[in-house]
A = this chain, B = another copy of it.
Amino acid sequence: MTELPPRSPELPSVQLEELRALIDEIDTALCELLAARFGLTQQVGQYKADRGIPAVDPEREQRQFAKIMELAQQFGLDPDFAASFLRLIIDQVVVNHKTLAEQVSSSQSSTSCL
């Protein structure tokens, strides 16, 4: 994984391009983490689809939003930004879960016709 640069380095003389190179490194790390996250939620989706559990889980969502607010405070993120970020992720996860559930359901129908 890409190494995390210092959070708030004191580099008043650093050039714009150097800062941007560090930002680009973080973007790579963020995408890697998001891919890992979607890999895990895909497993959750499979678990749910296999058991016929609905893709949307309002209680889990509520806990996740409470948790992201704590994290926003811990790391000094804007709370509205943090909530929008989590909403974006969850919306994508729900789309993925529904697709997966349809595939499982379709596969089960095919099997039951044999």
Contact surface of A with B, Cβ cutoff 8 Å: 1, 4-9, 11, 14, 16, 19-20, 22-24, 26-41, 43-44, 47, 60, 64, 67-68, 71-72, 74-78, 81-82, 84-86, 88, 92
- A35-B71 Cα distance, complex, nearest whole Å: 10
Q: Is the CB of B88 within 8 A of A31?
A: no
Q: Is the CB of B88 within 8 A of A85?
A: yes
- A77-B28 Cα distance, complex, nearest whole Å: 12
- A81-B87 Cα distance, complex, nearest whole Å: 11
- A68-B77 Cα distance, complex, nearest whole Å: 22
Q: Is the CB of A32 within 8 A of B75?
A: yes
- A38-B77 Cα distance, complex, nearest whole Å: 8
Determine how close the nearest CB of chain B comes to the CB of A78; give it in whole angstroms: 6
- A76-B1 Cα distance, complex, nearest whole Å: 16
With A7-B36, A23-B37 in contact, is A31–B92 under 8 Å at CB? no
